Amino acid sequence: RKKVTTHRLREMKQQGEKISMLTAYDYSMASVIDQAGIDVILVGDSASNVMAGNTTTLPMTVEQMIYHGKSVMNAVKRAMVVVDMPFGSYQGNPYEAVGNAVKIMKETQADCLKLEGGKEVAESIRAILNAGIPVMGHLGLMPQSINKYGTYAVRATEDEEATKLLEDARLLQKIGCCSIVLEKIPAELAGKVTAELDIPTIGIGAGAQVDGQVLVMHDMLGLNKGFSPRFLRRYANLYDEITTAVRQYINDVKSSDFPSEEESY
């Protein structure tokens, strides 16, 4: 099976084939979703929430992203692997941003990096692109800016923010981003951005008029019972399935049913 590339993503947009994307942070899960045929795997800084139990993505470090990125890369044969640049690693000067980007690419061997923001981080994105590293943009709700928003509510519902988002999307395409994630914005606005751009848009809570969809794997597998935004569709109830399995195991141990003679040497 052929590796999915940035070129292939562009081709998929042109041919009207939707792009499927999910997060993964470890070898085992990345292996399953790659074999299942997912197009893009995002090593998201949402690892901060679902792996480490933090309430925001802000604590994530470059070293931690590299650890998760390497783990995923060890498993993946076909999907394009995108690694999030963590908070603080690219918002300063572009030289620092390139340094961190090169470090992540060297140590993980990933295919692409993702950065949150438009005009504010355009110089950093330019510098990273100039180093030959593909960049996926991320507009709309940007979790690394949660302390600025003070809420995880839908973004760009007002004209001013919607206009800025459209301008940022045009700018990201112009400077050479390979794709843009649109998070939690009105479907109509996402559709407008998607129609204007030649590069693919990948939505999460951004409606159906985009070129692809991304979800956090733990959320779509139902491992995270407390998180139920309307954009989330659950494809499994792993929390309940794991609970049942673990309870059965506990019972079997307590009752000495496990291990049996066949399971012993």
- Angle of the 122-130 helix axis to the 94-108 helix axis, nearest 10: 50
Task: Give dist(CA 186, CA 211) in Å, integer.
Answer: 15
Nearer to ligand KIV, 44 or 222 (CB): 44
Catalytic status, residue 196: no
Supply φ then ψ for residue 25, to 5 degrees.
Answer: -130, -5
Which residue of 6, 20, 46, 89 would you call a contact of ligand KIV, by CB under 6 A?
46
The count of chain residues that interact with ligand KIV, using the rule CB under 6 A, is 11
| Helix or strand holding residue 88 (H, E) | none
Token duo for residue 49? 């929430």
- The catalytic position among 183, 241, 262, 263 is 183
Contact of residue 204 among Na ion, ligand KIV, none (CB under 5-8 Å per partner type): ligand KIV
Distance of CA 165 to the CA centre of its chain: 19
Task: Give dist(CA 17, CA 211) in Å, integer.
Answer: 8
Nearer to ligand KIV, 53 or 262 (CB): 53
Q: Is the peptide bond before 186 cis (omega within 30 degrees of 0)?
A: no
Please, are residues 204 and 214 in contact by the beta-carbon 8 Å criterion? yes
- 71-90 binders of ligand KIV (CB under 6 A): 84
Task: Give dist(CA 2, CA 144) in Å, integer.
Answer: 33
Which residue of 75, 216, 220, 221 would you call a contact of ligand KIV, by CB under 6 A?
216
Nearer to Na ion, 44 or 205 (CB): 44
For residue 124, state whether it binds ligand KIV (rule: CB under 6 A): no
Query: What is the number of helices (H) and of strands (E) in the chain?
Result: 11, 8
- Shortest separation between residue 131's beta carbon and ligand KIV, angstroms: 22
For residue 23, state whether it binds ligand KIV (rule: CB under 6 A): yes
- Shortest separation between residue 235's beta carbon and ligand KIV, angstroms: 16
Nearer to Na ion, 44 or 203 (CB): 44
Q: Which residue numbers are catalytic?
A: 183
Binding residues vs ligand KIV (CB under 6 A) = 23, 42, 44-46, 84, 181, 183, 204, 214, 216
